[in-house]
A and B are shown apart, each in its own frame.
Chain A
Amino acid sequence: MVPTNIKNFDTLVVGGGIAGLQAALDLGDQGYKVAIVEKDASIGGKMIRLSKVFPTLDCASCITTPKMSAASHHENITLFTYCDLTSLNHEGQGIKALITQKPRYVDPIKCIGCRQCEYICPVHVSDAEQGDFSARKAISIPFSTAIPQLPILDVEHCMLCGQCEKTCPTHAIDYFQKPEEFIIQAKTAVITTGFDLLPVKNNFQYGNGHIPNVIDSMQMERILAPHGPYNRVLRPSDGMEPDSIAYVQCAGSRDKSMGVPYCSRVCCMYAIKQAMLLSGSLPLADIIIYYMDIRAFGKGYEQFYQNAKAMGIEFVKAKVARIDKGENGSAIVRYENQDGSGIATADHDLVVLSMGMIPGWDPRSICPVSKDSDQFITSIKPKISPVLTNMAGLFVAGVAAGPKDIVDTITESGSAAMEAAKFMSNSHMEN
Chain B
Amino acid sequence: MKNPDNDKEKEAKKAAMKTLRAQRKDLIASASSRMKTQKKDIKAIKEFLKGKKATIPDIAEGIDMPKDETLWYIATMKKYGQIVEAEKEGAFFNYSLNEPEKTQEKEEV
Instruction: List residues of chain A with CB under 8 Å of any chain B CB.
Output: 119-120, 122-124, 126, 130, 133-135, 138, 155-160, 162, 175-176, 212, 229-232, 234, 236-241, 243
Contact = CB atoms under 8 A, between A and B. Distances in A.
A397 B70 CA distance: 43
A155 B27 contact: yes
Interface in B19-47: 20-21, 24, 27-28, 31-32, 34-35, 38-39
Interface string B40-65: 00000000000000011100100000
Contacts of B39: 122
A134 B76 contact: yes
Nearest to A242: B91
Contacts of B56: 238-240
Contact of A122 (B16, B24, B108): B108
B38 to A, nearest CB: 5
The A interface is mostly helix, strand or loop, or mixed, namely loop
The B interface is mostly helix, strand or loop, or mixed, namely helix
22 contacts: A122-B38, A123-B34, A124-B38, A130-B75, A133-B72, A134-B75, A135-B72, A158-B31, A159-B28, A159-B32, A160-B17, A160-B21, A175-B17, A175-B20, A229-B79, A230-B71, A236-B71, A238-B56, A238-B67, A238-B68, A240-B91, A241-B93
Contacts of A238: 56-57, 60, 67-68, 71, 92
B97 interface: no
Q: Find the residue from B57, B68, B74 having the highest chain A CB count within 10 A.
A: B68
B71 A239 contact: yes
Nearest to B76: A135
List of 9 A-B pairs having minimum Cβ-Cβ separation, nearest first? A239-B56, A134-B75, A238-B67, A135-B76, A159-B31, A239-B71, A134-B76, A229-B75, A123-B35
A160 B22 CA distance: 11
B67 to A, nearest CB: 4
A364 B91 CA distance: 50
Contacts of A119: 80
A175 B93 CA distance: 41
Nearest to B72: A134
A126 B16 CA distance: 30
